[in-house]
Structure 1
């Protein structure tokens, strides 16, 4: 869509601002989400995902890792990811921890479909929606990860006006 010529300078300024700050804002937003969700797992009954998460870990480890162990480990894991993203330090390690965790966060959709869907696979429950949103977190982490070797967004491409 072409903008009226008088709006073009505003559009250019906004686009340049987004390119300049978008990755940092994405990284910080991811950090806030992970740190927040991690911290609440340290407090009994604060995380609505705690029960499903611990049952998933218990199932995936064939009962070897009980909830009393898995929940604090998961809380620390998510908090570390959050701190790494917020500080921007050790991003490769932080993103490795994030990507290692994500398959486990999605498995309740397969392990507990009666709890994660009202009608499988079309109508997720609130728990299912909570899990499915992780796809956005993964996509955002991929964008952040594209910058660890100096990559950045460009405000204008070859087809720029």
Structure 2
């Protein structure tokens, strides 16, 4: 074993900091309610969303929502890798790479890029919808035509998404410091 492998291996397997674990789990859990809301909408639950039938038609829009779920939940699972051993070392079952230590910078760069994208997507969506709800601009929002109860359920489902980018700002810091 060369010295580079030994030194990088010695940074693997350290217990994550409590605050980093909380950030990773907060990032993961923050996406679950909105995913459940969208899946319920696809399954035919009356969410009050006036365009639900368009997304349930079994065509392109259904594929879009299912793809969004896969990407969102996949990214959330990757957040957990920042506080679990499989985020430090390639799983043994991966042919040709199994067992190799991941470079410390790789998850931090990928997490940072994803985090910047989250701030951009969530921030711009929040600004766009807020400006429409306040009457400062025109356009459709998901709450159009919804009852107050349906809006409340939608808000409860989507509000945790605001935690995701903040938690993902903290989690890679813990990963970087633990692997130092």
TM-score (norm 1): 0.48
Q: Highest relative contact order (Cα 8 Å, sep 6+), 1 or 2? A: 2
TM-score with structure 2 setting the length: 0.44
